[in-house]
Structure 1
Amino acid sequence: MKLLIVYQYFGGKNTMWSSRIYEMAQYWKNQGAEITVITAPYSKSDLGIQNKFISRHNYDGLNIIVINSQDNNSYSFIKRVYNQFIFSIVSIYYSLTLNYDIILTSSGPIFVSFSGLFSKFFRKKSFVFELRDKWPDGAIELGHITNRILIWVLKKFEIYIYIKSDLLVAASIGMKNEIFREGFEGNVFVAPNSCDKSFFNDNHKLNYNSSSKIFIYFGSLGVMDDVQYLVEAFELANIDGAQFLIFGDGVERIKIESYISNRKITNIKVMGILPKQEVFKWLQLSYASLIAYKNLPSLQNSSPNKLFDSLAFGIPVLHNTWGWIKDLFDSNKIGLSANPNSVLDMANLIKYIFNNPDQREIFSKNALNVSNEMFERSKIAEDYFQEMKNLL
């Protein structure tokens, strides 16, 4: 199988971002697939700064084509959309000229589907559309897109992509249900996020001596992520013997750091952005992992990588979403769910898990079991690979 993957935010084993595509592609490569990835520089990727508009690399056996249309979540909405659009247009050229059997486009943004549609219509190639974010829903809910005609066009185009894809892939069961609520009536394959610890080198553990229990957040500090909610909750919890470490970067970072500084909070620190391998070393030391999103409908069925990374290391999670993740937590007792509208509720959960180490250990064991049984990367990658092979 020759597979062309179009994904704007590719990152490898040293990325500060999701390594889902890299880890999946490594498994598929080992099964005999020949893989080319079309991507762009991202502020959290490990591809580095590109000096040419188009550059080619070999990354652990993967053929990488980098279109220098960089994205960064600190950019304005207009600049991000413009760069995403440029990336998608240039990707069409490669979809029409490269030699491959199947094209897989991974979204958001929704523009990435252009290359898949062109490939299907003009070259009769099999088109796999992977939905990781319900774009444009988030942009609409945040008020970035308000024109009713444009919203109608984008929603119709969204359904059109679903219908025209030969394989539609959702990153969570909750996202699959959202697709059906949009009116789509076809088949949807679910390939959830996961964590492959085989890529983690734990030979060098951190030499960090502290009597405090570490609560950790790692990921984007963007407008969708409600890290401010977590900061206020941890401050309100007012626990001696605990500290909250925040690993990440984004447009909200300055605001968060200013809040911490102005209120003279000493047990919350913004550590900045680190490669995923380094963050995992801190994760191993952590007592609990915190996750929060803005209370928007499109985010209730998100599939955050930080959740699966935490579970894989047996770290209990406190979160504030009300979609499929809450159902998973309620069924498997792997952490606690807070009301997204109540900072006090999250503060109480932080105090509860801090004061109940025995319950924390139960959550930890359950987290490892759930990770191994439900979100094992090689099993998910194998099922995904078989679904694509069925298209040939």
Structure 2
Amino acid sequence: MHKGKKILIHSIAFSPDGVSTAYLYNDIAKGFKEKGYEVVVLTTTPHYNVVESELKKQPLKKRALGLFYESNFEGIKILHVPQKKFKSTILRLFGFVYWHIMAIILGLNEKNVLALLSPSPPLTIGFINLLIGKIKGAKVVYNVQEIYPDFLIEQGGLKSKILIKILKWLERYVYNKSDAVTTIDEIFYKTIVSRFDDKIKLHIIPNFVDTDLYKPLDNSTINLDPHIFPQNNDIKLMYAGNIGHAQDWEPMVQLAIYLKNEPFEFYVIGEGVMKSYVEDKVKENGLKNVHILPYQPRETMPQLLDYADLQFIFMSKEMEGHGFPSKVYTIMACGKPLLVCSGEKSPIVNFLKPIDCAALITTSRFEVKINEMVSFLRRQSKKSLQEMGKKGLEEVDKFYSKDVVVNKYVDLIDNLLD
């Protein structure tokens, strides 16, 4: 047990927000609590994926006339700094600065904090933690989930040479001043290790999946609306998650056009900035084989994954080298195979290649990409896809369950404190 040890987890998203980073850090926080740590979480008010049913389960109580809020997540104190998705750039910037100022005040107000842990993005969260850690004499661990500013530069959203120089300096500062830095994948490790003066600080700790929630289901436990999810012999391909710029949607549309008169159905489930684009393309091409549905509660995800024969993830060129979709683990944990489009040297391909639970399409030539996918799908049966999925399930059970990975975080913090 670790009685008397207190950790402050500082994350831009946490329960009751309904996004992958929140789910990941919910489980990390619970893992530290189960190991006897006192855990406090510093985060924002839900603004990524607000789920009303989750808000009712975890109500936010106003503190200091609404300067911040407090909630309770399974016995863990959560401090929320107000944030909204403003359309105005000035308001977004103001909200961002306000979050950082309040994070410093609330972080310094917490007594006896011995360690701080936070995920990127944003990069500035690491700087705030270093400030709090320095004043409180606490150890600081920074978790690289996405590589910034590389991602912003390659996406084309960041062109200012001065700003790029500042962010690159800030990145190196956070890496080198933190007591430890973790990243999720070997390719991420190779990308950033040269930016460290002391390379021993950098550790690989992968993300994980809650295998109590995500697991293969017996058909008798499936309770989906048969009008929306009919039981038939068609092969069903599914994407469930954020419908945004991190994915490339054109291959999915083209694939559906090629297969519109064959026994294949496509399901796109979620919300995001690219949803209207996908809807317009489906309407424009009269694609009756594509079904676009709203975000579904996390509890129904195992049933949705079980319903589909294959999950698809088509990474956008800008994102493929800098992000690793955590849904890969949940798909594997449910014993389902994947159809993935991404570059040969991207983290997702590097991870999946040796496991043999996914069809990996790595060419950048659009027509070749579509032809390879069509050819792969036409060769498959439900049985062959099930065999692929079993290989992913075996891998998750061995290396990527919640208990295995959370223990790595606990061991890392223990070693720093000892």
Q: TM-score, normalised by structure 2?
A: 0.85
User: Aligned-pair distance for 1:16?
Assistant: 4.8
Partner of residue 18 from structure 2, selected from 15, 23, 32: 15
User: Aligned-pair distance for 1:196?
Assistant: 0.7
2:291 is aligned with what amino acid?
K
User: Aligned-pair distance for 1:5?
Assistant: 0.7
Q: Which segment is superposed worse, 341-350 or 223-232? A: 341-350
CA contact (8 A) 1:11 1:45 kept: no
SS class of match (1:380) = helix
- 1:177-230 CA-to-partner distances (Å, cap 9, x unmatched) read 111244554231222122113145975632533312221111112222223432
In the TM superposition, 1:319-358 aligns within 5 A as: 319-322=340-343, 323-339=346-362, 341-344=364-367, 345-346=369-370, 348-357=372-381, 358=383
CA contact (8 A) 2:151 2:322 kept: no
Q: Distance in 2 between matches of 1:60 and 1:301?
A: 33
Q: Distance in 2 between matches of 1:193 and 1:340?
A: 27
CA contact (8 A) 2:211 2:401 kept: no
Q: 1:348 to 1:238 in 2, by over 3 A?
A: farther
Q: Distance in 2 between matches of 1:33 and 1:380?
A: 17
Larger relative CO (CA 8 A, sep 6+): 1 or 2? 1
SS class of match (2:104) = helix
1:210 is aligned with what amino acid?
Q
Q: Distance in 2 between matches of 1:340 and 1:90?
A: 46
- 1:90-132 CA-to-partner distances (Å, cap 9, x unmatched) read 2111221112211112110112123211112222211111111
CA contact (8 A) 2:83 2:95 kept: yes
CA contact (8 A) 2:141 2:181 kept: yes
Provide the residue aligned with 2:394 in structure 1: 369
Provide the residue aligned with 1:280 in structure 2: 302
User: Aligned-pair distance for 1:389?
Assistant: 1.0
SS class of match (1:24) = helix
CA contact (8 A) 1:215 1:245 kept: yes
User: Aligned-pair distance for 1:238?
Assistant: 3.7
In the TM superposition, 1:179-218 aligns within 5 A as: 179-182=192-195, 185-187=198-200, 188-199=202-213, 205-208=223-226, 209-211=230-232, 212-218=234-240
Q: Distance in 2 between matches of 1:263 and 1:349?
A: 19
Q: Distance in 2 between matches of 1:361 and 1:237?
A: 21
Q: Distance in 1 between matches of 2:371 and 2:85?
A: 34
1:370 is aligned with what amino acid?
E
- Equivalent pairs, count: 388
Q: Distance in 1 between matches of 2:294 and 2:90?
A: 25
Provide the residue aligned with 2:169 in structure 1: 156
User: Aligned-pair distance for 1:318?
Assistant: 1.1
Q: 1:44 to 1:151 in 2, by over 3 A?
A: same
User: Aligned-pair distance for 1:76?
Assistant: 6.9
Q: 1:83 to 1:215 in 2, by over 3 A?
A: farther
- 1:225-244 CA-to-partner distances (Å, cap 9, x unmatched) read 22343233333344522111
SS class of match (1:91) = helix
Q: Distance in 2 between matches of 1:29 and 1:268?
A: 43
Q: Which segment is superposed worse, 355-364 or 56-65? A: 355-364
SS class of match (2:339) = strand
Q: 1:92 to 1:61 in 2, by over 3 A?
A: same
Q: Which has the larger radius of gyration?
A: 2
Q: Distance in 2 between matches of 1:42 and 1:300?
A: 26
Q: 1:195 to 1:350 in 2, by over 3 A?
A: farther
In the TM superposition, 1:40-79 aligns within 5 A as: 40=44, 41-46=46-51, 48=55, 52-71=66-85, 75=87
Partner of residue 328 from structure 2, selected from 297, 307, 332: 307
Provide the residue aligned with 2:103 in structure 1: 91
- 1:343-391 CA-to-partner distances (Å, cap 9, x unmatched) read 4414532552353225423311111111112212211100110101112
Q: Distance in 2 between matches of 1:215 and 1:237?
A: 12
Q: Distance in 1 between matches of 2:300 and 2:366?
A: 29
Provide the residue aligned with 2:139 in structure 1: 126
Q: 1:348 to 1:82 in 2, by over 3 A?
A: farther
CA contact (8 A) 1:17 1:276 kept: no
Provide the residue aligned with 1:244 in structure 2: 266
2:348 is aligned with what amino acid?
I
Structure 1: stretches of 5+ with no match in the other structure? none
User: Aligned-pair distance for 1:317?
Assistant: 0.8
Q: Distance in 2 between matches of 1:126 and 1:303?
A: 27
SS class of match (2:353) = helix
CA contact (8 A) 2:118 2:141 kept: yes
CA contact (8 A) 2:115 2:138 kept: yes
2:323 is aligned with what amino acid?
S
Partner of residue 403 from structure 2, selected from 362, 378, 390: 378
User: Aligned-pair distance for 1:81?
Assistant: 5.3
CA contact (8 A) 1:71 1:83 kept: no
SS class of match (2:332) = helix
Q: 1:128 to 1:383 in 2, by over 3 A?
A: same
2:356 is aligned with what amino acid?
K
Q: Which segment is superposed worse, 195-204 or 170-179? A: 195-204
CA contact (8 A) 2:260 2:289 kept: no
Q: TM-score, normalised by structure 1?
A: 0.91
CA contact (8 A) 1:234 1:350 kept: no
Q: 1:164 to 1:327 in 2, by over 3 A?
A: same
RMSD value over aligned CA atoms?
Answer: 2.5
Q: 1:123 to 1:278 in 2, by over 3 A?
A: same
SS class of match (2:208) = coil
Partner of residue 247 from structure 2, selected from 197, 200, 225: 225
1:385 is aligned with what amino acid?
V
CA contact (8 A) 1:290 1:317 kept: yes
Q: 1:381 to 1:145 in 2, by over 3 A?
A: same
